[in-house]
A and B are shown apart, each in its own frame.
Chain A
Amino acid sequence: MVLIPEVVPTITASLYLPAVYLAMIVGFLGLTGIAIQKKDIHILILTDLVGLAMLIMVAAVGTDLAEALVLPGLVVELAEIMAISEILISREMRKIENAEPIDRVIARKHSVFPFPLKLDMEIMTTAPNFIALVMILYGAFLTGFTGGAVAGGGILFYIFSRKARGLPVIVIDGIGAISGFSWCLWIIGFVLFFIAPQYWLLLLFMAACGLFLKVASKLGLIGAMMREEYKKE
């Protein structure tokens, strides 16, 4: 016996069981893969698959509740993959540094810094201005985490494909500061929402714009990081 509230449409209720079974199958396959694999990088990719199973499970709830739960799930998954990838890289670098001298000669031939890679694609010379403009405008219109992700994607693409390399340190620090201030804006908006509910519209916009700036600036930094790696000449 499952209790279904009246606001849930019948189609959502009828699709609930198939979706949950699907999530279980996908999650089981992903976890089996993780159990079999030995190499860390493969395990990292398979973790992504288990994350998809988690999202299917949440989406099966339907209604706005699911949407409110999917967004934090995505954020956590993104942050987790970024952190683990950094740990993987630094661990492998330390392993090579501590290796036997004979291995070290071989290791030095592959420098620990990435070698220059010529990325010469049409889309990266003609499109960035237009695509970045459209995505930032649309993201600003959406606000909130979704808007931040959309606008951040535009900024990431723009910064990644422009020729000029090497942001001055002050700019990177500045982007970090914007991100911190907007995080405060979000928290203040959220707290005041409970203290002074009569200003809900102002507080809603404070929180939404804070989150928008925060996510967009963070994704912009990822773009700068990627360009430093791939555009060395």
Chain B
Amino acid sequence: MQETLDTIVDDAAKDGNAVTSRAQFETFKAGLMGPRGSFTQQRKQMGRIPREERPAFGKKLNEIKNRLERILTETLEKIEKLESASRLGLSIDPTLPSPEEQPGSLHLLTQVREELCAIFRQIGFVVAEGPEVETEFFCFDALNTPPDHPARDLQDTYYLPEKIHFANIPQREEERYVLRSHTSTVQIRTMLDKPPPLRIISPGRCFRRDTPDATHSANFHQIEGLFVDKNVTVKDLKADLDYCFQSLMGKEARTRFRPHFFPYTEPSFEVDFYSGHLAKVGAEWTEIMGCGIVDPSVFEAVGYDPEVWTGYAFGLGIERIAMILYGVDDIRYFYQNDLRFLQQFS
């Protein structure tokens, strides 16, 4: 009897090895534990053996049952392993390229614009926007540009035909539309729209009637800044621009103010920077931007009281900054959109 039970276990261990599918397993299990299974048959013997042997037999049965169940569990685990192996297939070659490998990218000009905007946001500026098609009033008159100033020349500024009207670009009177030659227009629109104080930057596309070459482009991008409050001074302007260039180029960056002339600021300056670590241009003072204290006549044109409010304004070219920061030596790269250029900076 005992031998029979042990034989069942030995056979089960052997048969279990041959089981490779769930169907086989079910048959295998039924052959042991099912109503006609070999183990079930043995258990039915309990009634036939002498009473005094029953406890020992019961004990033996239990032991055998546990051993059989362990075999069944192991067999099932083996089958599950086989099943998931066939579901997963071969192991991967992790060195194969991902088909999604082509990286997306922000254009270098967008990156530089955002870097500059982030720098100025940190000192309380917000971004203001305005139309690219502008009118002579916003582009010139309000910025104190005399009627026969060369900047208004057909040679320099793109004009739209007379009698054209844009539904969502308001004119002052019947003045002509132009493609804005700077983003100071946004400052004028903002000042006409909102009372002081203000602290805005206006990044955006500008247009000049230039024949493209390595440093000129008929489309280009600027960031102009305007801060209007009580007691805004030259010292503030210098402090804020120093902060900007040190953020952009490192702590060793220095700026220098050279007196200059712009119709909309007084005093006006051109700003040179110096930064030793920029190998190409850092060794000497390099002209980078224009700035100044807002001319009182500009405030008068937008209805701000120049006795009460003062302000500073500045403007810089995004292409120029990008060229300096990244060593790009031809402005035309920015508008070619060669994928190798676009992805270089991703």
The yes or no verdict on A and B being binding partners is: no
A interface list, Cβ under 8 A from B: none
B interface list, Cβ under 8 A from A: none
